[in-house]
């Protein structure tokens, strides 16, 4: 038998390097493609520059926040918790590692996608197939960078700490800092990016379309570059950072369960490293699955992407089997639990598609409701969003119950580990999902460049078709991101409970009968709402500044509208960047302060309640927001394609109103809830030991 403690982490390193190699090769092939006319390059360069400007400013804020927290961890942690200096120092190091790698993944994704856009627009001159292929490859650069850096980071720290003499079961808790680093970056990326993208969109459209009467993506609009930058910072960098963190947190959370001395199964090296190896094998499955993105005869791009998803999941299941039974010789139910995660993935993606795609009843009902006016359009969209939470929640509940039952089947008593493995199974296909998501901003930008570059009509037909699919993939991958964040956080809650209990004199029960737990639950549920309010309002504020700036430029340079003067694109980008990042501080600080406040005031039981309150309420609210927004958006697009009188009809006007509310719900508030949930849960695990010892009230 090989020494799994040595071979396991190195296998994960190899898989991580493989993913990065795939990412690199794809990036090279994308960058080699033709960049079209100088005019197109000029637009694309402006978008790339604006995106990088945003990243630069965002990373500066993140760096300051991170430096402060790292110093606190490294120097103050060991003082207030003198028994575990190693924990705090390792957490500080891991924290910086997680934050840096997440930032690096975001940089790589943005770098390529803001260069791929123009190339996809140019490839569209040769038809749908080459444009699709290029866009998918560009998306995959981001996807494989995310999982590659995630695996490499985790395995790298594992190997380093092992070399420093830490025993395998003691390592996972040291990795929580790594997860928190990813959390912090994803919180800023999701919140800041979400505010940026919607403020630029709403503000630019309002002055451009409504006041100046020029179409979307018109180069005369000073906000148009900011709008295109927004697509990248929201759906590319934001989603990438979000899933980087969910990926890391799921692996770490499940390794923590495996490493616990109080939770079954027994903490063996095999069990602890098993999640990492599941992740490693799924990377290969994703790479093969990606090869299946080929335009079928029907020409349906969605079919091509769905095929790739199903192939990836099937191959991952095969890989899970090989790892679990012949290689590691682990119980068969473990394999079953991991497959449950893959099944949840497929269910969530297809359910979200059902609720947000214009091919199905829900979106068509909103479009139908739009014919009776705004009121019915709003009511029906709200109803679709609210009801859309049911199937995903039931899917997750059934998944938890089945994974738990599998973990407890036969003579095993490993229910919780089963749930963790389901989460790992679900997250193992992160690479593919991020690829599908990043497809969205790339094709959206390609459409914008085609419009602004005044390319011929047939090119725009191709980019429009891709953009429509990109809208769907952005929506469906949101369902996955939310569901996986919820499941990952539930695993992390179990770790929190385990840790706080081991440090408590009297074991906590987390009973719903305790007023502390109830208080935590109520505060957690309300916190999600307040966080959503902050995000929504931030969009309003930042959009107001964009409106002012665009109006000012039109006023001060009348030549812009005549085409004789060039608008100051960078000025708009700068304004949204500054404002979005300023608005991001309070919500981010709330995510950090809330678990600390509740924990040290009301104690460990209340903090447990807070976590579950935030997870449960966050899961349903994020699903509602994302799906309502996606459905309203596509109802508008459905009408624009000719239904119910088409563009300019009364139905269209009603649908546009639905979209104005839906847009910030689906692109700012909803997605921002994911990192909010995960940051709070990760912090709770970090402070579990302290909370058990120090809290103000004893309820």
Angle between helices 176-205 and 38-71 (to 10 degrees): 140
The binder of its own copies chosen from 518, 561, 585, 596 (CB under 8 A): 518
> Which contiguous run of DSSP H or E holds residue 582?
helix 569-602
Stretch touching its own copies by CB under 8 A, among 220-228, 298-306, 398-406, 563-571: 398-406
The binder of its own copies chosen from 26, 105, 123, 616 (CB under 8 A): 616
What is the per-residue binding string for its own copies in 66-85, x denoting contact by CB under 8 A? Answer: --------------------
The binder of its own copies chosen from 167, 322, 397, 593 (CB under 8 A): 397
The least distance separating its own copies from the CB of residue 135, rounded to whole angstroms, comes to: 29
What is the size of the binding site for its own copies (CB under 8 A)? 78
Nearer to its own copies, 106 or 223 (CB): 223
Q: Decide if 616 contacts 525 (C-beta within 8 A).
A: yes
Nearer to its own copies, 161 or 404 (CB): 404
- Does position 632 bind its own copies by CB under 8 A? no
The least distance separating its own copies from the CB of residue 521, rounded to whole angstroms, comes to: 5
The binder of its own copies chosen from 3, 298, 513, 564 (CB under 8 A): 513
- Does position 624 bind its own copies by CB under 8 A? yes
Q: Decide if 266 contacts 169 (C-beta within 8 A).
A: no
Q: Name residues contacting its own copies, limited to 646-685 (CB under 8 A).
A: 657, 660-661, 663-665
Stretch touching its own copies by CB under 8 A, among 81-89, 182-190, 245-253, 607-615: 607-615
- Does position 108 bind its own copies by CB under 8 A? no
Residue entry with tokens 């006016």? 373
The least distance separating its own copies from the CB of residue 42, rounded to whole angstroms, comes to: 30
Stretch touching its own copies by CB under 8 A, among 92-100, 172-180, 350-358, 491-499: 491-499
- Does position 639 bind its own copies by CB under 8 A? no
Q: Decide if 121 contacts 453 (C-beta within 8 A).
A: yes
DSSP code string of 671-684: HHHHHHHHHHHHHH
493 vs 521: CA distance, rounded Å:
13
Q: Name residues contacting its own copies, limited to 339-378 (CB under 8 A).
A: 369, 372-376, 378
Phi-psi region of 589 (alpha: psi -120 to 50; beta: other; left: phi over 0): alpha
Stretch touching its own copies by CB under 8 A, among 42-50, 96-104, 173-181, 616-624: 616-624
Q: Name residues contacting its own copies, limited to 199-218 (CB under 8 A).
A: 202, 206, 210
Nearer to its own copies, 46 or 626 (CB): 626
Stretch touching its own copies by CB under 8 A, among 56-64, 386-394, 561-569, 586-594: 386-394
63 vs 397: CA distance, rounded Å:
38
- Does position 487 bind its own copies by CB under 8 A? no
Contacts of 545 (CB under 8 A, 6+ apart): 199, 203, 575, 576, 579
167 vs 495: CA distance, rounded Å:
19
Q: Name residues contacting its own copies, limited to 149-208 (CB under 8 A).
A: 202, 206
Under DSSP, is residue 495 helix (H, G, I), strand (E, B) or coil? Answer: helix
Nearer to its own copies, 162 or 537 (CB): 537
Give the number of other CB atoms < 10 A from CB of residue 281: 22
The least distance separating its own copies from the CB of residue 514, rounded to whole angstroms, comes to: 9
The binder of its own copies chosen from 18, 65, 111, 510 (CB under 8 A): 510
Backbone angles phi, psi at 330, to 5 degrees: -90, 165
Contacts of 47 (CB under 8 A, 6+ apart): 114, 117, 225, 228, 229, 232, 445, 449
- Does position 617 bind its own copies by CB under 8 A? yes
What value, to the nearest 5°, has the Cα angle with vertex 658 and ends 654 and 659?
Answer: 115
Inter-CA distances, 343 with 338, 602, 644, Å: 9, 39, 37
Q: What letters, b where the CB count within 10 A reaches 16 and e where it falls short, cover 544-556?
A: ebbbebbbebbee
Nearer to its own copies, 10 or 529 (CB): 529
The binder of its own copies chosen from 94, 599, 609, 629 (CB under 8 A): 609
The binder of its own copies chosen from 281, 396, 436, 560 (CB under 8 A): 396
Stretch touching its own copies by CB under 8 A, among 167-175, 177-185, 463-471, 520-528: 520-528
484 vs 292: CA distance, rounded Å:
24
Sign of CA dihedral 640, 642, 643, 647: positive
Look up residue 125 and give its DSSP letter. G
Q: Would you call 60 exposed, middle or buried from its count of C-beta atoms within 10 A (0-12, 13-18, 19+)?
A: exposed
Inter-CA distances, 414 with 407, 417, 423, Å: 4, 5, 14
The binder of its own copies chosen from 318, 390, 589, 593 (CB under 8 A): 390
The binder of its own copies chosen from 14, 522, 586, 596 (CB under 8 A): 522
Q: Decide if 587 contacts 191 (C-beta within 8 A).
A: yes
Nearer to its own copies, 241 or 619 (CB): 619
The least distance separating its own copies from the CB of residue 341, rounded to whole angstroms, comes to: 15
Nearer to its own copies, 246 or 627 (CB): 627
The least distance separating its own copies from the CB of residue 540, rounded to whole angstroms, comes to: 5
- Does position 586 bind its own copies by CB under 8 A? no
Nearer to its own copies, 231 or 498 (CB): 498
Alpha carbons within 13 A on the beta-carbon side of 615: 25
198 vs 184: CA distance, rounded Å:
21
Q: How far apart are the first and last CA of the chain?
A: 52
Q: Name residues contacting its own copies, limited to 526-565 (CB under 8 A).
A: 526, 529-530, 532-534, 536-537, 539-540, 543-544, 547
The least distance separating its own copies from the CB of residue 528, rounded to whole angstroms, comes to: 8
Written as six digits, the tokens of 553 are 């430029």
Contacts of 65 (CB under 8 A, 6+ apart): 184, 188, 588
- Does position 493 bind its own copies by CB under 8 A? yes
Nearer to its own copies, 118 or 547 (CB): 547
The binder of its own copies chosen from 379, 412, 503, 570 (CB under 8 A): 379
The least distance separating its own copies from the CB of residue 155, rounded to whole angstroms, comes to: 30
Contacts of 521 (CB under 8 A, 6+ apart): 512, 609, 610, 612, 613
Inter-CA distances, 303 with 48, 76, 121, 436, 505, Å: 31, 54, 22, 13, 57
Cis peptide before 625 (omega within 30 of 0): no
Nearer to its own copies, 206 or 432 (CB): 206
Nearer to its own copies, 486 or 689 (CB): 486
Written as six digits, the tokens of 379 are 């009511």
Q: What's the chain's length in residues? A: 699
Nearer to its own copies, 279 or 664 (CB): 664
Q: Name residues contacting its own copies, limited to 415-434 (CB under 8 A).
A: 415, 419
Nearer to its own copies, 507 or 646 (CB): 507
The least distance separating its own copies from the CB of residue 246, rounded to whole angstroms, comes to: 18
Q: Decide if 334 contacts 418 (C-beta within 8 A).
A: yes
The least distance separating its own copies from the CB of residue 457, rounded to whole angstroms, comes to: 30
Alpha carbons within 13 A on the beta-carbon side of 688: 25
- Does position 608 bind its own copies by CB under 8 A? yes
């Amino acid at each position: 038998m090989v020494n799994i403690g040595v071979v396991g982490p190195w296998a994960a390193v190899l898989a991580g390097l493989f993913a990065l190699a795939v990412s690199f090769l794809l990036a090279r092939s994308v960058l080699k493609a033709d960049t079209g006319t100088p005019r197109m390059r000029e637009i694309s360069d402006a978008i790339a520059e604006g995106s990088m400007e945003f990243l630069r400013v965002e990373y500066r804020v993140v760096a300051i926040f991170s430096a402060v927290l790292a110093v606190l961890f490294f120097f103050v942690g060991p003082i207030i918790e003198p028994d575990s200096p190693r924990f705090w120092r390792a957490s500080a190091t891991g924290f910086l590692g997680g934050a840096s790698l997440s930032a690096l993944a975001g940089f790589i994704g943005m770098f390529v996608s803001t260069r791929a856009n123009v190339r996809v627009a140019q490839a569209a001159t040769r038809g749908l197939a080459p444009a699709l292929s290029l866009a998918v490859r560009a998306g995959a650069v981001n996807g494989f960078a995310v999982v590659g850096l995630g695996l490499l980071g985790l395995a790298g720290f594992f190997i380093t700490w092992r070399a420093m003499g830490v025993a395998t079961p003691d390592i996972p808790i040291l990795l929580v800092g790594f997860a928190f680093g990813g959390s912090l970056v994803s919180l800023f990326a999701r919140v800041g990016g979400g505010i940026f993208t919607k403020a630029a969109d709403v503000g630019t459209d309002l002055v451009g379309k409504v006041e100046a009467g020029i179409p979307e993506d018109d180069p005369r609009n000073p906000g148009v570059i900011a709008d295109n930058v927004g697509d990248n910072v929201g759906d590319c960098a934001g989603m990438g950072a979000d899933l980087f963190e969910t990926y890391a947190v799921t692996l770490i959370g499940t390794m923590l369960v495996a490493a616990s001395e109080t939770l079954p199964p027994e903490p063996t090296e095999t069990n602890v490293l098993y999640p990492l190896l599941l992740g490693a094998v799924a990377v290969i499955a994703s790479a093969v699955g990606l090869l299946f993105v080929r335009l079928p005869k029907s020409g349906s791009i969605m079919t091509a992407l769905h095929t790739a998803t199903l192939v990836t999941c099937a191959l991952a299941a095969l890989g899970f089997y090989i790892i679990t039974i012949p290689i590691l010789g682990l119980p068969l139910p473990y394999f079953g639990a991991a497959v449950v995660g893959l099944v949840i993935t497929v269910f969530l993606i297809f359910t979200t598609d059902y609720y947000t795609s214009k091919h199905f009843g829900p979106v068509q009902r909103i479009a139908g409701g739009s014919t009776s006016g705004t009121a019915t359009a709003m009511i029906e969209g709200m109803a679709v969003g609210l009801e859309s939470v049911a199937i995903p929640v039931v899917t997750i509940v059934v998944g938890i119950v089945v994974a738990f039952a599998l973990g407890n089947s036969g003579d095993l008593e490993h229910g919780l580990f089963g749930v963790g493995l389901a989460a790992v199974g679900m997250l193992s296909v992160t690479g593919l999902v991020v690829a599908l998501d990043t497809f969205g901003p790339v094709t959206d930008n390609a459409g914008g460049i085609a419009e602004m570059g005044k390319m011929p009509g047939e090119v725009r037909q191709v980019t429009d078709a891709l953009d429509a699919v990109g809208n769907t993939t952005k929506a469906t991958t949101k369902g996955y991101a939310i569901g996986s964040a919820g499941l990952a956080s539930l695993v992390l809650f179990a770790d929190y409970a385990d840790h706080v209990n081991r440090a408590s004199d009297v074991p906590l029960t987390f009973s719903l009968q305790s007023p502390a737990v109830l208080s935590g639950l109520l505060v957690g549920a309300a916190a999600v709402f307040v966080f959503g309010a902050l995000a929504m309002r931030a969009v309003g504020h930042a959009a107001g500044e964009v409106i002012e700036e665009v109006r000012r430029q039109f006023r001060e340079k009348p030549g812009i509208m005549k085409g004789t003067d060039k608008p100051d694109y960078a000025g708009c980008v700068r304004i949204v960047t500054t404002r979005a990042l300023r608005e991001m501080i309070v919500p981010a600080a709330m995510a950090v302060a809330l678990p600390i406040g509740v924990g040290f005031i009301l104690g460990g039981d209340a903090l447990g309640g807070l976590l579950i309150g935030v997870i449960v309420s966050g899961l349903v609210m994020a699903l509602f927001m994302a799906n309502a927004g996606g459905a309203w958006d596509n109802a508008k697009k459905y009408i624009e394609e000719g239904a119910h009188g088409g563009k300019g009809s009364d139905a269209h006007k009603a649908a546009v109103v639905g979209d104005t509310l839906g847009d910030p719900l689906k692109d700012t508030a909803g997605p921002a809830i994911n990192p909010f949930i995960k940051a709070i849960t990760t912090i709770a695990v970090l402070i579990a030991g302290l909370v058990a010892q120090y809290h103000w009230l004893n309820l």
